[in-house]
Structure formats: C-alpha cells, structure tokens
C-alpha cells in the first residue's frame, strides 16, 4: 500500500470541516520536532510533493492524505510549541483530541516519541485519551540513530514498562530512523496490515 500515490485531499481546523470518514485512517501524532515529517517522507517517499507549509505554529490543521484508493494517512499537528498563541493552540488541540477519540475508521494512531527524550506529560495525556476511547495506538520511537543501540533498547523498555498498566489499546512498540532507514520497512509492513481490514 505504501507504493501507492500520495495525494493531499483535506485540511481541517474545526470539526465541521473534517472530511467524511470513507477510508481506513492511520494518524501520526507527536510533539513538534519529533521527526514526523521525516518519517512520513521515509514511509511514503513522496511527502515532499504534497507537503505545504509546516512551520511550527503556523499551519495547525489536521491534514488528510490519500495513499492510493484504500488508505488515508492523517497528519496531526505537532504539539508543544512554547510560542503558539494560547487560543490557537486550544482550538486545534481540541479538534485533534476529538478526532483521536471519536473518529470512525481510525485504525491506528502512531504516537511518535523521540528516542533521546522519551515521553512527556503531553504524550501521556494523549495515551490516556486513547486508552479511554479504546483507540488503537502504537509508540514509534524516532531518531534511533541519535543514541547508542543500548539506549534505544533502554528507552523502549522504559516506555513499555510505563504503559504496562494500561495496555488495553497499545500495540507493539516500533523503532525507526528516517535518517538511516532502520525500521522503516517493518513499520510499513505493520501499517499495511492495519490497512487491510
């Protein structure tokens, strides 16, 4: 499915502008600078074609991309900009939360976590929300090339430990580096399975 052509088809700032949920969707979430754009680029190899302005704090919309006729990828706005205006921040965060907890057809949320920094309170907040709404999600450790392999393993263990108590909706953790390509194929395979309902 990741060989299919990627086409941008909708952006939403408010819930009334969400496109109809016609296809299975896989969403990508994480704090700003976590490596989301790079990962989407590595997964699809065509992100640059459709990616418009992605400057932190400027385009805070949920962006919908069709990947061929059968799957939709959703780019959730990155959270945690110190300088995003408070009221702006709230509007899209509320929409992102609503989307994640109620969207019909949402098969999986990939919650991206920087291997070096681990989870922050905002990430845990999102996890709690997905657990409450029984939204299937998986942690994707990013930028694994930036630390020693032993530290990647340590981080993975630490996160799995911290999610152990709540793992009703959590799926196996994956580790990737968009820079070296490590783990990208495995993630593609895992997500392709999700798409084949």
Least distance to ligand GDP from the beta carbon of 167, Å?
Answer: 25
- Return the range that interacts with ligand GDP (CB under 6 A); candidates 14-22, 103-111, 161-169, 176-184: 176-184
Q: Is 34 in the site for ligand GDP (CB under 6 A)?
A: yes
Q: Is 59 in the site for ligand GDP (CB under 6 A)?
A: no
Among 35, 95, 137, 139, binds ligand GDP (CB under 6 A): 35
Question: What residues does 170 pair with on adjacent strands?
Answer: 137
Tokens 């490596």 locate to: 35
Question: What residues does 113 pair with on adjacent strands?
Answer: 141
Q: At a CB cut-off of 8 Å and minimum separation 6, what does 18 contact?
A: 10, 12, 62, 95, 99, 103
Alpha carbons 169 and 33: distance in angstroms, whole number: 25
State the Cα torsion 135-170-95-6 to the nearest 10°: -90
Among 10, 13, 129, 145, binds ligand GDP (CB under 6 A): 145
Pick the closer one to ligand GDP by CB: 97 or 179: 179
Among 37, 59, 101, 133, binds ligand GDP (CB under 6 A): 37
Q: How far is CA 80 from CA 15, 45, 103, 151, 195, in A?
A: 21, 27, 23, 24, 29
Count of residues of this chain found to bind ligand GDP when the rule CB under 6 A is applied: 15
- Return the range that interacts with ligand GDP (CB under 6 A); candidates 45-53, 58-66, 119-127, 174-182: 174-182
Phi, psi torsion values for 136, nearest 5 degrees: -70, 130
Least distance to ligand GDP from the beta carbon of 20, Å?
Answer: 27
Q: Is 36 in the site for ligand GDP (CB under 6 A)?
A: yes
Q: Is 179 in the site for ligand GDP (CB under 6 A)?
A: yes
Cβ atoms within 10 Å of 71's Cβ, excluding its own: 23
**Where does this chain bind ligand GDP (CB under 6 A)?**
32-38, 78, 142-143, 145-146, 177-179
């Amino acid at each position: 499915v990741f060989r299919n052509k990627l086409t941008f088809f909708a952006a939403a700032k408010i819930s009334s502008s969400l496109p109809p949920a016609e296809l299975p969707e896989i969403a990508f979430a994480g704090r700003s600078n976590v490596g989301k754009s790079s990962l989407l680029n590595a997964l699809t190899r065509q992100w640059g074609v459709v990616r418009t302005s992605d400057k932190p704090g400027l385009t805070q919309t949920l962006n919908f991309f069709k990947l061929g006729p059968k799957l939709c990828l959703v780019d959730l706005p990155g959270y945690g900009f110190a300088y995003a205006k408070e009221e702006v921040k709230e509007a899209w965060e509320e929409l992102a939360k609503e989307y994640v907890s109620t969207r019909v057809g949402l098969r999986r949320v990939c919650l991206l976590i920087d291997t070096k920094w681990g989870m922050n309170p905002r990430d845990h907040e999102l996890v709690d929300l997905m657990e409450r709404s029984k939204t299937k999600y998986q942690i994707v450790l990013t930028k694994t090339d930036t630390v020693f392999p032993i530290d990647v393993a340590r981080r993975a263990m630490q996160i799995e430990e911290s999610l152990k108590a709540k793992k009703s909706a959590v799926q196996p953790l994956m580790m990737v580096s968009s820079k070296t390509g490590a783990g990208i194929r495995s993630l593609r395979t895992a997500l392709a399975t999700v798409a084949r309902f």
